[in-house]
Amino acid sequence: MEKFLLSFFFLGFLAVKQLNAQPCTLSNLQITNVQTTNGQCYADVTFDMDRNNGNKFVYVHIWSQANFAKVDKSIFKKGAGPKYTDLFGSGNSHPVSATFAIDNFNSPTPTWSSYNYRPDPSVPVVKGSSLVVNAIGSIERYTITNVPLGSTGGNCTTANFDGAVWSTQANSTNSHIHCSSVGKAVAAAPLTITGSASCAAAKFTINIKNTSGSTVSGIIDTYSDNGGSPNNGDFDPANDKLLYDNISFSVAANSTTTITRTIPFQYLNYNVWTQVMIPSTTVLRMLTISSCSPLPVKFQSFTATRNKQNVAVKWQTASEEAILGFNVLRLTDDGDWKVVAYVPSQAAGGFSSQALSYQLSDVNAFRGISQYRIEEIAMDGKSGLSDIKMVRGDEAISKLSVYPNPSSDGRINVVFDNNAVRDITVTDLSGRIVKQLRGVSNNSVLIENLNTGFYNLQVFDRTTNETATEKLIIKMR
């Protein structure tokens, strides 16, 4: 019995020892989107840390390299968390540039700690515009945007920083260090992200500037800031609508590349989050939508269908508020949108809470792809745009059109002659399925993220049980 109890005690001791020895590794600490405003340095900060249930409260300190060299690193090894003098030095000899206090108790949805810096409340803490954690395997990547890093002589772009991170299981002024990592040098990451979102153009643009001496490649995810409290500046990937994912890019050394995408009609009034990911870091940036008041028209349906040399444009509104009428817009090739007709509102005095139907026959003998959308004209002079419908060219032999083909960016548009329900499959030359879409009811669809190569496109029409095929060619630049 004594041997059993001793063994049980020994196993329990091992379990406690292993728990206390859980890793707390800080890696890939990066400073990105560095900029100077009124002599103050602002940047985005990202770092990776092992997922650990003991990391309930996390504190991050960042110094300039010169100041960090003066810090006593032993303060992060054990015992109580560092105090003001530990972080700033006697006589403010090595002031910390920034301290973050993160409540990680509800990981993976951390928040800024409402208790600030508990080991010593006299230590000031800073907050960024947003705090996001993404799970990547066994680690968690923290992304903090627009962090004030203090004055660096107005020269943020060449400033290098050192950091320390430590965590604790307790939330008290006597919080003891559970685990820590110290002295990870970081330099400014090579990418600067800027851009804009336009309601009038229904597009957003991302500019990716590479300041390094080598090519940088990565992917971009974009979200509409419509989840939770819309346009509140909080990145919430669980509730914000994913607009485009895995947009691939490659930008040459000391160069800039620009990516443009259409904003879907229903998300025109929301800001756009861009999440740019390269192997070492993630850069998060919000694109503010240009002035775009709520649309006074609620579109219930909108179609554009070809009948020989005519295109039947039909739309129905669920309600209208102070509307004069509608412009029917058409785009062919890569030219400009042109007004092909103006249709007055049927609503008495411009106001209606009932469904109203409109239609127009547009003479269009263009043999390529035509695009249509409706522009609403309000009484106060403002305007809004519907989503876009694509129409096959006149005399097109196939019941579907594919463009561009060959494609130079891995993106292919497929346009049908009606709105029947279809299943779409893309296979490589070995027969492996690389893309599959089921139940597509729109008259057009965008297929993205195809790599260089040859593919077969198969479209099965559920109504007629017919299958149409096309060869696809992808030649990435």
DSSP labels, 302-342: EEEEEETTEEEEEEEEEEESSEEEEEEEEEETTS--EEEEE
Q: In angstroms, rounded to a whole number, what is the distance separating the alpha carbons of residues 26 and 218?
A: 22
Domain identity same for 131 and 247: no
Q: Give yes or no for residue 466 having a pLDDT over 60.
A: yes
Q: Which pTM does this prediction carry?
A: 0.43
Q: Give the per-residue pLDDT at 33.
A: 67
Residue 301 and residue 276 in one domain: no
Between 90 and 393, the higher pLDDT residue: 90
Question: Tokens 């040399």 label which residue?
Answer: 309
Q: What is the mean pLDDT of residues 8-18?
A: 29
As a whole number, mean pLDDT of residues 120-128 equals 90
pLDDT band at 341 (very low <50, low <70, confident <90, very high): very high
The residue that leads in pLDDT, 417 or 52, is: 417
Rounded distance between C-alpha atoms, residue 204 and residue 206, angstroms: 7
* Cβ-defined contacts of 127-130 (< 8 Å, 24+): 127/100, 128/44, 128/45, 128/100, 129/233, 129/286, 130/233, 130/234, 130/235, 130/284, 130/286
CATH at 375: 2.60.40.10
Looking at the fold, whether 160 and 29 belong to one and the same domain comes out as yes
Q: Give residue 158's pLDDT.
A: 41
Greater confidence (197 vs 237) lies with: 197
What are the tens digits of pLDDT across the range 384-439?
788 788 887 765 545 678 888 888 888 888 888 777 888 999 998 888 889 988 88
In a domain, 9, yes or no: no
Q: Which two tokens stand for residue 25?
A: 């590794």
Asked if the structure places residue 162 within a domain, the reply is yes
Q: Domains in the chain: how many in total?
A: 4
- The answer on 405 and 343 residing in a single domain is no
User: Residue 380 pLDDT > 80, yes or no?
Assistant: no
Does some domain include residue 83? yes
Task: Give yes or no for a contact between 120 and 146, defined as CB atoms under 8 angstroms apart.
Answer: no
Sheet with strand 400-403: strands edge to edge: 400-403, 412-416, 444-447
Looking at residue 405, its pLDDT comes to 85
Residue-by-residue DSSP string for 251-270 = E-TT-EEEEEEEPPGGGTTS
On whether both 367 and 459 belong to a single domain, the answer is no
Convert the pLDDT of each residue in 198-252 to its tens digit. 876 778 999 998 877 889 888 998 988 877 667 666 677 777 888 898 899 999 9
Residues 202 and 276 in one domain: yes
Strand partners, 103: 57, 111
Out of 52-56, 85-89, 183-187, pick the least confident.
183-187
At 87 the pLDDT is: 94
Sole residue written with tokens 């593919």: 455
Which structural domain, as residue segments, surrounds residue 151? 22-186
Nearest to 374 by CA among 307, 316, 443: 316
